[in-house]
Amino acid sequence: MGVNDTKKPSDGDFVDKALFQFDHVLDIVHDRVLRPILLAGRALAFGLIILFAGIFLIGALLIGFIRLIDVYCFAGREYLSYVSVGAISLIAGLIVWRKRRPVNLRK
């Protein structure tokens, strides 16, 4: 009997009834135990892929931006490129820090 087969065995022999009950129990275990574990594993795997892709993208954009301003804005003065990227990062960090909300532990 398959997963989608919902017919109960008629007053047949004991083996058919036992196998039907065993199949039913396995379906319940799969739906209540294994499916959430599989969904959590998929979410973790896809989340890590998205995280690593985001880290790679941010790094590539940062390197490209530093090279762009080094060549076109501050030719021959690499330190000014690093200082400007550091200042932009500091300002962005301060803006994010200011918008944070304190956690209220007492309810």
The total number of structural domains in the chain stands at 1
Q: Is the pLDDT of residue 1 over 70?
A: no
Tell me whether residue 26 is in a domain.
Answer: yes
Tell me whether residue 105 is in a domain.
Answer: no
Tens of pLDDT, residues 68-95: 998 988 888 888 989 998 999 999 999 9
Tell me whether residue 107 is in a domain.
Answer: no
Tell me whether residue 104 is in a domain.
Answer: no
- Confidence grade of residue 5 (pLDDT, cut at 50, 70, 90): low
Tell me whether residue 1 is in a domain.
Answer: no
CA-to-CA dists, residue 33 to 5, 28, 36, 38, 55, angstroms:
21, 8, 6, 9, 33
Question: Which residue range forms the structural domain that includes residue 75?
Answer: 14-99
- Confidence grade of residue 104 (pLDDT, cut at 50, 70, 90): confident
The whole model's pTM is what? 0.58
Tell me whether residue 8 is in a domain.
Answer: no
